[in-house]
Amino acid sequence: MSILLIIVLFSGSATAQYDKGNEVTISNTSDGQNTLVNNESAVIFEDQVSDGNSVVVTMALLPEGGYVVIRELMDGASGPLAGNSGYLEPGEYSLVEVELREPIDSGQELIAMTHIDDGDEMYEFPGPDVAYSVDGDIVSDSAMVTIETEANSENNESAVSFEDQDTEGNMVVVDSVSLPDGGYVVIHASENGSAGDVIGHSQYMETGNHSDVEIRLDAPIETDQEVIAMTHMDDGDGVYQFPGPDVPYTSDNVPVTDSAMITVENGSSSQTPGFGIVLTMGLLFVAGYCSKNRRM
CATH of 4-151, one of 3.10.450, 1.10.260, 2.60.40, 1.25.40: 2.60.40
The β-bridge partners of 89 are none
**pTM of full prediction above 0.85:** no
pLDDT over 90 at 174, yes or no: yes
The length of the chain is 296
Instruction: Order across the sheet with 42-44: list the strands.
Output: 42-44, 54-62, 91-99
Residue 283 has pLDDT above 60, yes or no: no
Task: Assess contact for 246 and 233: CB atoms under 8 A.
Answer: yes
Closest CA to 118 of 64, 173, 191: 64
Distance, in Å, from the CA atom of 117 to the CA atom of 133, rounded to the nearest integer, reads 13
Instruction: Give residues with Cβ within 8 angstroms of 21, minimum separation 6.
Output: none
Average pLDDT score over residue span 179-202:
91
- How far is it, in rounded angstroms, from Cα 163 to Cα 228? 10
Residues 186, 257: Cα–Cα separation, whole Å? 9
* Amino acid sitting at position 6: I
Return d(Cα 125, Cα 91) in angstroms, integer.
21
How sure is the predictor about 42, in pLDDT bands with cuts at 50, 70 and 90?
A: very high
Q: What distance in Å separates the CA atoms of residue 130 and residue 126, rounded to the nearest whole number?
A: 8
CATH 2.60.40 corresponds to the domain 157-270: yes
- In angstroms, rounded to a whole number, what is the distance separating the alpha carbons of residues 134 and 258? 59
For the chain, domain boundaries: 4-151, 157-270
Model confidence pLDDT, tens digit, residues 146-157: 876 555 455 568
Which pLDDT band holds residue 6 (cuts at 50, 70, 90)?
A: very low
Question: Is the predicted pLDDT of residue 79 greater than 50, yes or no?
Answer: yes
Give me the mean pLDDT over the 191-218 stretch: 91
Handedness of CA 102, 108, 114, 116 (dihedral sign): negative
**Are 4-151 and 157-270 in the same CATH fold?**
yes
- So what's the pLDDT on residue 136? 85
Ramachandran region of residue 287, left (φ > 0), alpha (ψ -120 to 50) or beta?
Answer: alpha
Predicted confidence (pLDDT) at residue 30 exceeds the cutoff of 70: no
